[in-house]
């Protein structure tokens, strides 16, 4: 399996996703500021992977600490704030930071600084291990749900599935969220072809999902983001499944810009459209999608295509990295605990209590 991120001997190693599929370049660092830059620039990306990277970045930061125990609280507070400021939308980043803050709060008074750091290290590694395990659980729940919802088609043929952005190993550490479901569905003989939309402007679908599918020998075709409604009209898509960066308590879901248009098209064509995401992506503290902070990225990402200027440098640009799909357009939210269909407010709240 692709090793998107690892942490050994106090060194963070990641595959720099900006250069894929043309170049497979691994970067190793012990410098937490470099790790923050990797998150900001999307060298590491995808909500669960951002969470794992954030946890290891905090570990790199505390490894660089050379002060006294009394000086540690203010150092730790500003380190975490710096990491939290790297990308605003993926709640997994804040989930990971909260886990490490909890370890700090529960152990600072009683532990030596060495013992405290060791516990934080263990907590970071557990976040990583959990995300790998989450993928397998999500995949199983997702495939079971698809078998129920699409049984009428599966009686006679395999399915064509639309996905957006990249939700595979590169984004999740394990087999993936939406792509994990697709991988398992393929292994179980349910999939004819995957349709991966390009995901402008940074092309995570065209570059990364295509790369992962090719690697696994799963049949796929790439389309421009604006093609999905037409393919649905022609009966070329049976269902859609994507990941999430943050899911509000009512099921409204932030994901890569372009997701909402795919979901509305699917709804219009009466095709099931699913979100697959670990429970760590649910933000139960916010009632609906209007509260999700949406990252706005540099205008030049749109005015240029991988360094080549394609628009006037003065063209005004809106470059939102994510959009919010209202829960009503979703057939279900597949999590590592279970697939939630129907009432998201009660279904998602119940997941948080388990």
For the annotated catalytic residues, the residue numbers are 245
Is the Cβ of residue 76 or residue 246 nearer to ligand MRU in the bound state? 246
Which strand (E) or helix (H) includes residue 75? helix 72-84
DSSP string across 164-231: ES--SHHHHSSS-SHHHHHHHHHHTT-EEEEEEE--TTTTIIIIIIHHHHHHHT--EEEE-GGGHHHH
Q: Which residues pair with 324 in a beta bridge?
A: 254
Query: Under the criterion CB under 6 A, does residue 173 sit at the interface with ligand MRU?
Result: no
- State the DSSP code for 71: G
252 torsion bin: left (phi>0), alpha (psi -120 to 50), beta (else) = beta
Is the Cβ of residue 39 or residue 249 nearer to ligand MRU in the bound state? 39
CB 118, min distance to ligand MRU, A: 30
87 is in an annotated binding site: yes
Is the Cβ of residue 87 or residue 99 nearer to ligand MRU in the bound state? 87
Is the Cβ of residue 119 or residue 291 nearer to ligand MRU in the bound state? 291
Is the Cβ of residue 121 or residue 177 nearer to ligand MRU in the bound state? 177
204 is in an annotated binding site: yes
Interface of this chain with ligand MRU, residues 47 to 106, rule: CB under 6 A: 47-48, 90
Length of the chain measured in residues: 354
* 324 closest CA partner among 249, 244, 222: 244
Candidate ranges 152-160, 188-196, 226-234, 242-250; the one touching ligand MRU (CB under 6 A): 242-250
Please state, as a whole number, how many other Cβ atoms lie within 10 Å of the Cβ of residue 93. Answer: 28
Candidate ranges 109-117, 125-133, 243-251, 342-350; the one touching ligand MRU (CB under 6 A): 243-251
Candidate residues 39, 46, 186, 271; the one interacting with ligand MRU per rule CB under 6 A: 46
CA 59/CA 32 separation, integer angstroms:
8
Query: Under the criterion CB under 6 A, does residue 171 sit at the interface with ligand MRU?
Result: yes
Candidate ranges 44-52, 55-63, 78-86, 337-345; the one touching ligand MRU (CB under 6 A): 44-52
CA 291/CA 94 separation, integer angstroms:
15
CB 247, min distance to ligand MRU, A: 11
256 is in an annotated binding site: yes
Q: Which residues pair with 242 in a beta bridge?
A: 275
Query: Furthest-apart CA pair in the chain: how many Å?
Result: 69
Query: What does the binding site for ligand MRU look like in residue numbers (CB under 6 A)?
Result: 42, 45-48, 90, 165, 167, 171-172, 177, 204, 242-245, 255-256, 321
- Residues annotated within the binding site for substrate are 45-47, 87, 204, 255-256
């Amino acid at each position: 399996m692709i090793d998107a991120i690892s942490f050994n001997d106090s060194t963070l190693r990641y595959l720099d996703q900006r250069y894929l599929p043309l170049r497979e370049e691994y970067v190793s660092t012990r410098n937490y500021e470099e790790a923050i830059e990797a998150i900001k620039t999307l060298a590491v990306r995808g909500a669960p992977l951002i969470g794992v990277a954030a946890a290891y970045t905090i570990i790199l930061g505390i490894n660089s600490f050379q002060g006294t125990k009394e000086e540690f609280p203010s150092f730790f507070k500003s380190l975490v704030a710096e990491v939290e400021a790297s990308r605003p939308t993926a709640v997994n980043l804040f989930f990971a930071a909260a886990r490490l803050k909890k370890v700090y709060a529960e152990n600072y008074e009683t532990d030596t600084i060495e013992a405290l750091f060791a516990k934080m290290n263990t907590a970071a590694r557990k976040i990583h291990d959990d995300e790998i395990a989450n993928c397998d659980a999500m995949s199983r729940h997702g495939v079971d749900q698809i078998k129920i919802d699409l049984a009428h088609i599966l009686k006679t043929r395999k399915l064509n599935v639309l996905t957006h952005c990249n939700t595979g190993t590169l984004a999740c550490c394990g087999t993936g969220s939406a792509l994990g479901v697709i991988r398992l569905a393929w292994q179980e003989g349910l999939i004819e072809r995957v349709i991966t939309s390009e995901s402008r402007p940074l092309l995570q679908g065209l570059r990364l999902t295509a790369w992962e599918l090719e690697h696994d020998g799963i049949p796929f075709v790439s389309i421009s983001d604006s093609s999905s409604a037409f393919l649905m009209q022609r009966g070329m898509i049976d269902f859609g499944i994507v990941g999430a960066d943050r899911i509000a308590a009512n099921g409204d879901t932030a994901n890569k810009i372009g997701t909402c248009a795919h979901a509305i098209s699917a709804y219009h064509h009466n095709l099931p459209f699913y979100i697959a995401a670990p429970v760590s992506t649910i933000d139960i503290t916010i009632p609906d999608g209007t509260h999700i902070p949406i990252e706005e990225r540099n205008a030049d990402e749109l005015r240029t295509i991988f360094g080549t200027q394609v628009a006037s440098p003065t063209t005004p640009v809106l470059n939102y990295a994510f959009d919010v799909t209202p829960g009503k357009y979703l057939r279900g939210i597949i999590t590592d605990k279970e697939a939630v269909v129907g009432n998201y407010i009660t279904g998602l709240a119940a997941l948080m209590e388990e």
